[in-house]
């Protein structure tokens, strides 16, 4: 520990770089720039091979350290020659470096084994997961990010272009750039460790709780125009969700669009049979199931066509031209479907403001954790993925429901899960006919549902 530490805020020259990356996108172009500037490049394993194939000279880290890669390549860069070259303060530790033949490493370009991708594989077991925990990479990254006064740490290929431009304009890297990259580097390793921690811990609601996400997109604004907002997603998540949806046409999704679309998709995943969900302000206003998609859509939309105006329609079957013709007659903001035939897309293309989203094959919602912010902390609970069946119901009256009535009741329970409390639902023939949502009084919710149901 150094007493009274100081921090160099001046631009630094890059004389030597260490490049060791799993994601090799863009690395050859970056290394080519370093080569043209006369910067020595140290590298390891696969990265060194890729650079040499591009006719870029590199020095193996093992040649520099005079210590071979050992233990199946697990020990490569954990060495005082490497860590000293990164961590050393140029204005304080030059004598130590010279005595121990340590060369300064001014630039560290590194990203890590894809742990999150590994654990998402169906064949992943604990042994494979642990094998893909990177040790040397985080050590180098944290060392470079800590020594921001003298070293530049780069972990994201997106930043290679900016680094190349800055080096090309004068051969130096400013403190402002180093500081920005340093913050990103610590974020990279923090996210990495969080993913590992959450994978290994046995108790979901453990004594410590942390989550990590990657920025998906910046919103124009949040729920209201004065609120900043962005969308973040689970790293390497490939499930069928709104953030992973293909947008065939229409404007970028807003904060409120994503909230409403997510609510529609969540409700849609409740049903195996052909289903249509109409959502407005994150509440279902019309839901129907059946055998024929066109009939199901018609029943769901007409359940409350007034509320459906400007809402979201979600269906769980391919959208064909006959269904597209009917949907094109009404004004909605967003349409969700697993797929579309070309004639349907051609019809929708005439409605430029309609957002058409392909969400892919629908699967049941998995039990996960939901987080809600409160002042001073968060509340965490499991996602409600439970589904009632006839076996869960006990009739306590002499009059017993018929099989059709029982089926309709169970349909209603599935929908009601997604209606804001107090919520009251009236259903008939596997169709909602009246929904009273989000009322502080149950009486009011009943009255609204009855009014919407009419006769």
* CATH number, residue 258: 3.40.140.20
Residues 346 and 429 in one domain: no
- The domain boundary residue, chosen from 310, 329, 358: 358
For range 282-309, the mean pLDDT: 96
Residues 347 and 418 in one domain: no
Report CA-CA distances (Å) from 351 to 9, 277, 315, 328, 358: 54, 21, 19, 8, 16
Residue 84, both tokens: 């000293």
The pLDDT, as a whole number, for residue 171 is: 80
Residues 327 and 382 in one domain: no
Number of separate domains in the chain:
3
Confidence of residue 71 (pLDDT cuts 50, 70, 90): confident
Which residue shows structure tokens 């293909």? 246
Residues 387 and 341 in one domain: no
Least confident of 25-39, 46-60, 87-101: 87-101
Task: Check whether 455 has a pLDDT greater than 70.
Answer: no
Q: Domain containing 39 — which CATH number? A: 3.40.50.1380
Q: What 3-state DSSP class applies to 368?
A: coil
For range 62-72, the mean pLDDT: 81
Give CA–CA dist 322/301, Å, rounded. 15
Give CA–CA dist 226/75, Å, rounded. 51
Residue 227 within a domain:
no
- The 10s digit of each residue's pLDDT in 314-353 is 999 999 999 999 999 999 999 999 999 999 999 999 999 9
Confidence of residue 193 (pLDDT cuts 50, 70, 90): very high
The pLDDT, as a whole number, for residue 170 is: 78
Domain limits at 440?
A: 369-453
Residues 353 and 379 in one domain: no
Residues 329 and 446 in one domain: no
Residues 381 and 273 in one domain: no
Q: Are 192 and 135 in contact (CB under 8 A)?
A: no
Would you name the residues annotated as active-site residues? 146, 281
Residue 179 within a domain:
yes
Give CA–CA dist 288/277, Å, rounded. 7
Residue 56's CB is within 10 A of a number of other CB atoms, namely: 19
Residue 222 within a domain:
no
pLDDT over 90, % of the chain: 75
Indicate whether this model's pTM tops 0.85: no
Residues 318 and 384 in one domain: no
Task: Check whether 256 has a pLDDT greater than 70.
Answer: yes
Residues 257 and 354 in one domain: yes
For range 347-365, the mean pLDDT: 93
């Amino acid at each position: 520990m150094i007493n009274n530490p100081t921090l160099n805020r001046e631009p630094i020259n890059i004389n030597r770089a260490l490049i060791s990356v799993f994601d090799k996108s863009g690395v050859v172009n970056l290394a080519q720039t370093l080569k043209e500037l006369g910067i020595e490049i140290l590298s390891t394993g696969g990265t060194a091979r890729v650079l040499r194939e591009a006719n870029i000279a590199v020095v193996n880290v093992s040649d520099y350290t005079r210590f071979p890669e050992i233990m199946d390549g697990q020990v490569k860069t954990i060495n005082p020659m490497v860590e000293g070259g990164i961590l050393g303060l140029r204005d304080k530790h030059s004598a130590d470096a010279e005595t121990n033949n340590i060369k300064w490493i001014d630039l560290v370009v590194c990203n890590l084994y894809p742990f999150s991708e590994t654990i998402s594989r169906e064949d992943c077991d604990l042994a494979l997961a642990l094998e893909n925990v990177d040790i040397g990479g985080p050590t180098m990254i944290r060392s470079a990010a800590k020594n921001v006064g003298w070293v530049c740490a780069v972990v994201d290929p997106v930043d290679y272009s900016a680094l190349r431009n800055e080096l090309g304009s004068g051969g130096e890297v400013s403190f402002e750039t180093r500081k920005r990259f340093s913050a990103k580097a610590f974020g990279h390793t923090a996210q990495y460790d969080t993913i590992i921690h959450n994978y290994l811990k046995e108790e979901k609601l453990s004594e410590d709780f942390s989550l990590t996400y990657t920025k998906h997109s910046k919103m124009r604004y949040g729920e209201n125009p004065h609120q900043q907002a962005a969308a973040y997603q689970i790293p390497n998540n490939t499930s069928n969700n709104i953030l992973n949806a293909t947008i065939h046409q229409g404007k970028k999704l807003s904060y409120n669009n994503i909230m409403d679309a997510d609510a529609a998709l969540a409700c849609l995943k409740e049903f195996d049979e052909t289903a249509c969900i109409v959502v407005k302000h994150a509440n279902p206003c019309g839901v129907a199931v059946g055998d024929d998609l066109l009939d199901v859509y018609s029943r769901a939309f007409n359940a409350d066509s007034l509320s459906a105006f400007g809402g979201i329609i979600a269906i769980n079957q391919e959208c064909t031209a006959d269904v597209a013709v009917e949907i094109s007659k009404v004004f909605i903001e967003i349409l969700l479907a697993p797929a579309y035939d070309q004639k349907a897309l051609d019809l929708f293309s005439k409605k430029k403001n309609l957002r058409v989203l392909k969400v892919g094959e629908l699967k049941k919602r998995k039990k996960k954790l939901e987080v809600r912010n409160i002042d001073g902390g968060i509340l965490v609970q499991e996602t409600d993925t439970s589904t009632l069946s006839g076996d869960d119901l006990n009739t306590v009256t002499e009059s017993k429901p018929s099989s059709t009535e029982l089926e309709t009741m169970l349909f209603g329970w599935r929908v009601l899960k997604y209606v804001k409390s107090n919520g009251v639902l009236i259903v008939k023939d596997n169709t909602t006919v009246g929904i009273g949502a989000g009322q502080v009084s149950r009486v009011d919710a009943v009255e609204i549902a009855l009014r919407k149901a009419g006769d």
